[in-house]
A and B are shown apart, each in its own frame.
Chain A
Amino acid sequence: MTQKKITTHYDVLCPFCGTLCDDLEVDIADNEIIEMRNSCQIGTKKFFSSNPSGHRYLKPQIKEKGTFRDATWDEALDKAADILIKAKRPLLYGFSSTECEAQGVGAELAEYLRAILDNTASVCHGPSLLAIQDVGAPLSTLGEYKNRADLVIFWGSNPVHAHPRHLSRYSDYVRGYFRKDGRNDRYIVVVDPRNTHTAQIADLYIKVNPNEDYELLNAIRAVLRGVELDAKEVSGVPMEDIKKLVDILKKCHFGVIFFGMGLTQTISHHRNIDSAICLVRELNDHTKFLLTPMRGHYNVAGANQVFTWNTGYAYSIDFSREYARYNPGEFSSVDLLMNDEVDATLIVASDPASNFPAGAVRNMFKHPIIAIEPHHTPTSVYADVILPPAFAGIECEGTAYRMDKVPLRLRKVKDAPVDCLPDKEILERLLEKVKAKEGK
C-alpha cells in the first residue's frame, strides 16, 4: 500500500457560518480533504463536499431544450452577458458565501448594469441593519465577550444548531481572561418560544409567545426604568419573572445579547431589534451591556461591508437611475420577485430557490437565471446558465468578515477542479463581456 503524502494546514477558516472559526486543521492528500479537526459537523461537511462528487459542476453549463450541456467559459459567459444586457430590471443576488473581492466586483457589475444589488441579509439580518440605522447599536467583538461577559443572553437564536462552536469558542464553555472558570463564571439566559437545545443547557429559559417578543422587550425596558406596570403577564411571561430578569440584567458585570432570526423573521422584524438595541443602550446606565447579531453566513457581514463602502448602502440597492438608492421593501429581492418586477437574475453564492418563499421562486423561474454555484441546488438545476466556481475559503483565498465585523483571511488548502474559477474571476470576466457587448 502506497502512503499518501498528507499535508496539514493549520489555522484554517471555516467558510460556513458567521462564527467564522479560525482554528480548523485540514489534512490534504492528492488534492482531496482527508481529515478535518476542530470543525463542527457542518463545517466538516462543507470541506468534504469540495472533494470530487457526482453533484459538483465541473464545467460551465448552458441549458438547451430543457437539459444542460457542457459549454466553454467563453460561450457560457457570452450567454450570461446577453441575458443581463437584454434585461430591463436584472437582479444580482446572494454574495454571502464568497469572499470580499468577489463581492466588490459584483457591486461594480450591478452598478454598470444599473441593476438591483442585494445579498442574503435581505431575508436574514436585514432588519438588524434597519434597526441599527435608526437607533445605532452598542456592538463589540467576540473576543471581548469571551474574556469579559458574565451574562450571555440568546434571544431568538439557537447556536447549538446554527452556530455550533459559538458556545465553545466565545460565549459559554470557554475560559476567558476575566472568566477563568469558564462555564461556571457565566450565567446563560435563552429567550425562545421553544425549549431549544440551547435553552436546555442554559441557566434560565424564558418561554415567550411566538410573535410577541416586541411586547416583552417593551415591558422589560419599562420595568428597567422603574415603572410599575399594570399587566400581570406579558407575552406569556409572568411579571415576577420579568422583574427577576431585569434584576439579573442590572447586576451583571458585563452582559451581551446575541440575537437571531427569532427576532428578525417574526412579525415586527426590525422593530424587535430596535427595542432590543434600546434596551441594551439603557442597560449601560447600570452596567456594561452590548449586543451582536448572530450572522448566518460566513461572509454576509462582508457583503454588507463591501457593498456599503462601494455604494453607501449594505443591501437592497437599486442602480436603475444611475446612482445608488436603498429601500428594503421596495428594492429587496423577495418584494421585487413577489411583484414580478425582475426579468433576469444572477445568483452568486446562494440558493434562493430553496430559501425564498414559494411565490418569489415561482416568479424568479419565469425569467432567465444565471447561477454561479458549485453544487447541484434547486436554484442551479432550474437555471439557464451555470458558471462553476472554486470554493472560497477552500480552493481560493480571500477576506471574510465574522459576525462581529472582524475581517479574517480565508485560506486556500487545495486546488479547484481545472475548469472551476474563483468567483472574483468569473464576475470580472462577466463584466468585461458585458462592457464589450455594449461597445465600451
Chain B
Amino acid sequence: MSLTNLILLTGRTINQGVALEGGKVTKENVRAAGICTFDKDDFKKLDCIAGTPVKVTTDFGEVMVYSTITEEGPHPGIIFIPMGPWSNQVVNPDTQGCGTPTYKGMKAKVETVKDGRVLDAIELIGKLKEVQK
C-alpha cells in the first residue's frame, strides 16, 4: 500500500539522542533513527502493522525505514523521520544560498515493503562510498 502527497519533517527525538550517544553503529540506533512516524489515521490507510518496513521517497532520494505510529499527532499528511543517516538520504541538500540544507518540509511518498531490509547506519552510509579503483 502507498501514500502520496505527504510532507516529510525530520528532527531530534530523545530516543535518537540516547541512541547516538550509546553508539551510532548499534541496533539501538536503527530502532531509534531508522524509523518513519505516521499520523494514526494516515497509517490505517497503509493497512499494515506498525514496524513494517516502508520505502520513503522524495525528489532527493529514497530510504527504507521501519514504520511507527506517532505519539505527537494528529498530523495528517505529515510524516517524521528522526535526524540521522536515514533521513539524510531523502532530505533536500539545497541551501538556497544560505548554507543550511532544507532538512524539513520535503514532499514525500511512502510505500510498504513487507520484506524490506532496513540497513544499519554503517551499511547505509557505506553505500555512499564509491568503490575506489
Note whether A and B form a binding pair: yes
Flag if B122 contacts A381 (CB, 8 Å). yes
Flag if A194 contacts B9 (CB, 8 Å). yes
User: Which residues from chain B contact A199 at a C-beta distance below 8 Å?
Assistant: 72
Flag if A358 contacts B23 (CB, 8 Å). no
Flag if B99 contacts A354 (CB, 8 Å). no
Nearest-neighbor residue (CB-CB) of B94 within chain A: A338
Question: A196 interface residue, CB < 8 Å from B?
Answer: yes
Flag if B99 contacts A335 (CB, 8 Å). yes
Flag if A269 contacts B100 (CB, 8 Å). yes
Near A by CB (< 8 A), chain B positions 76-125 give 78, 80, 83-85, 88-89, 91-93, 95-105, 121-122, 125
User: Which residues from chain B contact A359 at a C-beta distance below 8 Å?
Assistant: 60, 93
Docked CA distance A366–B92 (Å): 21
CB distance from A126 to the nearest CB of B (A): 5
CB distance from B80 to the nearest CB of A (A): 7
Question: A28 interface residue, CB < 8 Å from B?
Answer: no
Q: Which segment of A239-247, A251-259, A372-380, A398-406 sits at the interface?
A: A372-380
Question: A261 interface residue, CB < 8 Å from B?
Answer: yes
Docked CA distance A58–B115 (Å): 39
User: Which residues from chain A contact B100 at a C-beta distance below 8 Å?
Assistant: 122-124, 126-127, 264-265, 269-270, 328, 332, 334
Q: How large is the interface on B (under 10, 10 to 19, 20 to 34, 35 or more residues)?
A: 35 or more
Given that A361-B128, A366-B130, A378-B125 are known contacts, is A130 also in contact with B98, CB under 8 Å in the complex?
A: yes
Question: A73 interface residue, CB < 8 Å from B?
Answer: no
Flag if A161 contacts B12 (CB, 8 Å). yes
* B interface SS class: loop
Flag if A375 contacts B98 (CB, 8 Å). no
Flag if A335 contacts B95 (CB, 8 Å). yes
Question: B2 interface residue, CB < 8 Å from A?
Answer: no
Set A164, A267, A365, A377: member contacting B128, Cβ < 8 A: A365
Flag if A377 contacts B25 (CB, 8 Å). yes
Docked CA distance A53–B21 (Å): 12
User: Which residues from chain A contact B44 at a C-beta distance below 8 Å?
Assistant: none
Nearest-neighbor residue (CB-CB) of B122 within chain A: A381
Set A197, A375, A382: member contacting B23, Cβ < 8 A: A375
Flag if A41 contacts B93 (CB, 8 Å). no
Near B by CB (< 8 A), chain A positions 248-285 give 261-262, 264-267, 269-270
Ordered by A's residue number, 25 sampled pairs between the chains whose C-beta atoms are within 8 Å are A41-B18, A42-B14, A42-B17, A46-B21, A49-B21, A53-B23, A126-B99, A162-B14, A193-B9, A194-B70, A195-B72, A195-B75, A210-B105, A261-B11, A265-B100, A329-B95, A329-B98, A334-B99, A334-B101, A353-B85, A355-B83, A357-B93, A357-B101, A362-B129, A381-B125
